[in-house]
Amino acid sequence: MVMKCPRCVQRVHRAADLCPHCGFEIREADRAFGAQEVRLKCLTDAAGVLRKRERETARKMLEEFQRKFPQLFFAVYFGTFRELPSLRQFGFWLLNRGAFEDVEVSRPNQCGVLLSVDVGGKSAGISFGYNLQPFLTEDTTFRALSAAHPYFLQEQYLKAMEVVVDRLSKTLRRQAKRARRDPELFTPDDIVSEDGKGEMLERIRANHRTKLPKL
């Protein structure tokens, strides 16, 4: 598993508090986007690019993803960021500070995949939680975005979203099979103990209960 810094895109050693190359950490993102956590839904169309019917379709699509993957959730954020410094940093920040209202508590943000689309800046990025780090890579996410690229160009955002969700679903399905056959392939060396897991879940639930202003 190779981790990269959201700012300098350099490799970062696991469990590093700061990026050894640029000194980036979550507080840097908090300073850019806000220190407080935000409440939002899996599908957030802040840019207003989807019609009502398309939003319904998109929601069903995301529900279907959750049905197939009982531990995971997929979130999509359409926004227009005039002063946004980096879509990669925004995705990193949102997946850490966002509280997704329509996601069950049993699906923490560590198990989330976020597709963030800067409609004004014409760029799209994917971020994912800790639990998916063994199963997703930058390359697999790039392939999913490449498949949806023609639809992004034509501003068919629903179709582009559908393609990204579908491609990532296939990747995750394959990885789940592989993990079932050979779990050791995806077991990191520094697995957190069962006690630690309970603490994290509690923290997530606390975040969900906190009412925060919307972004």
Residue 57 as a binder of another protein (CB under 8 A): the answer is no
Name residue 93's amino acid. Answer: W
Residue 190 as a binder of another protein (CB under 8 A): the answer is yes
Q: Could you say which residues in the range 72-101 bind another protein, by CB under 8 A? A: 72, 85-89, 91-92, 95-96
Residue 192 as a binder of another protein (CB under 8 A): the answer is yes
Parallel, antiparallel, or unpaired for β 11-12 and 3-4?
antiparallel
Exposure pattern of 60-89 as b/e (b: 16+ CB <10 Å)?
Answer: ebbeebbeebeebbbbbbbbebeebebbbb
Residue from 36, 56, 104, 196 touching another protein (CB under 8 A): that is 196
Structure tokens at 84: 């946004």
Residue 157 as a binder of another protein (CB under 8 A): the answer is no
Looking at the chain, list the stretches that DSSP marks H as alpha helix, in order from N- to C-terminal side.
26-33, 52-68, 87-97, 138-153, 157-181, 194-209
Residue from 39, 57, 102, 131 touching another protein (CB under 8 A): that is 131
- Stretch touching another protein by CB under 8 A, among 11-19, 38-46, 49-57: 11-19
Residue from 101, 149, 202, 210 touching another protein (CB under 8 A): that is 149
